[in-house]
Amino acid sequence: MIDSIWAHEFAREWIAAWNSHDLELILSHYADDFEMASPLIIERMQEPTGKLKGKEQIRPYWQKGLAAVPPLKFELHDVYAGVDSIVIHYRSIHRKMVCEALFFNAQRNVVRGAAHYGGAAE
């Protein structure tokens, strides 16, 4: 079980890593063979499944996001804790409101992530 305190600490670190634009710091939260699912993978990488697996496949996808203009910036909205997962609810200046579900292994590395995009910002 993931407790709320750890979930909030992880989310704050995760948001700070993204806002730093340091790809290695971002990737440090993830297992080497993690899987990411996102509608943006279809759009940016022309991958019809919307999924990528492993840091080496995901690296170029995230590099494109980090190179966006205006620069990517996330603002934490809320965090939801589960058994072996959390959901980070945040605002992105590019995509409005986002919920990202992150699933963890026993070492608390992300093994699977799924991004969900909302409409207009609140």
Which domains are seen in the chain, by residue range?
Answer: 4-117 (3.10.450.50)
User: Encoding tokens for residue 15?
Assistant: 């948001």
pTM: 0.93
The single residue listed with the structure tokens 């990528």 is: 52
pLDDT 10s digits, 13-50: 999 999 999 999 999 999 999 999 999 999 999 999 99
pLDDT 10s digits, 60-107: 999 999 998 889 999 999 999 999 999 999 999 876 899 999 999 999
CB atoms within 10 A of CB 20: 11
First to last CA, the chain: 30
Instruction: Give the separation between CA 86 and CA 3, rounded to whole angstroms.
Output: 10
HSE of 97 in the Cβ direction (CA atoms, 13 Å)?
9
Q: What is the pLDDT of residue 122?
A: 47
